[in-house]
Amino acid sequence: MGEVTNKLAVSLCGIDMDNPIIPASGTFGYGYEFADLYDINMLGTFSFKGTTRQPRFGNATPRIAECPSGMLNAVGLQNPGVDAVIAHELPKMRAVFTKPVMANVSGFSLDEYIEVSSRLDAEDSVGWIELNISCPNVHGGGMAFGTCASSAESVVRAVRDVVKKPLIVKLSPNVTSIVEIAKAVEAAGADGVSLINTLLGMRIDLRRRKPLLANVTGGYSGAAVFPVALRMVYQVAGAVKIPVVGMGGVSSAEDVIEMMLAGATAVEIGAENLRNPWACRDIIQALPDVMDKYGIDSLASIIGAAQP
């Protein structure tokens, strides 16, 4: 297994990972929920549920809707709040996961982003801060910061001042130019960017003649968004010098390799975890054979290989 691990190994913002596979925030809880199904230490790492200062129940229901080749969610950052995450969730997580974890931080104000990031940055088990400035289904929340280059830059600069660990900024695809936002957060001191978050969508209930989701709109994710995500990862990776974490509709080892060829250093898997809870395990196990098929000796060697 050692040789296979070496073939799959990557380094993300200076932290070595056995492989590039990362379950995405909001699709993997705090890890221990999946630890009964398989040994989650086989993962590169995972991004735990988006954390805010206060506990949040989230949006009204219904807040999930199925779609062809994907799903809509308007969960609304349901989480127990940073105090409970540090006191209860991280100790339970540490009992089943030994590697550094990615802490996803969401907020509704500059002060909240600063406080929650600073608190989680101080936790030994946290390796990276993933700053979510791109949530599309919370009124007045993170996406307000992530859709304007100047506000994205200001929140990243403020968090950069209080965070010592690598800072990865999660970008919204619901913008005119994701490259402009990526360049702005790079200039503000981000160590990396992760993209894409969900695409804004909706469904209508034909019988009720009303929007299906109580929130009206939600974030669209799943296999259907992969080509859009891949295009954005390719564009951003070609425009910034910091590492890119690619995500959006990834559901196979082949998708992972496409993302890495486009320029991703690591790859997050989201909606597929909800469809198949063993998805990340299966993808990691499939990677060596797919690499052999395409003559790839190491994943680190193909990062950005499709760039001009």
Cα(87)–Cα(52) distance, integer angstroms = 14
Cα(247)–Cα(283) distance, integer angstroms = 14
Cα(19)–Cα(282) distance, integer angstroms = 13
Closest to 218 (Cα-Cα) out of 26, 64, 50: 64
Torsions phi, psi for 207 (to 5 deg):
-70, -45
Cβ contact 241:184 at 8 Å: no
Closest to 259 (Cα-Cα) out of 219, 302, 197: 302
Q: Is 280 a catalytic residue?
A: no
Q: State the Cα torsion 172-173-175-180 to the nearest 10°.
A: 80
Cα(43)–Cα(66) distance, integer angstroms = 27
Q: Kind and range of the H or E element at 12? A: strand 10-12
- For 123: left if phi > 0, alpha if psi spans -120 to 50, otherwise beta; the answer is beta
Q: Which of 13, 135, 148, 280 is catalytic?
A: 135
Active site residues: 135
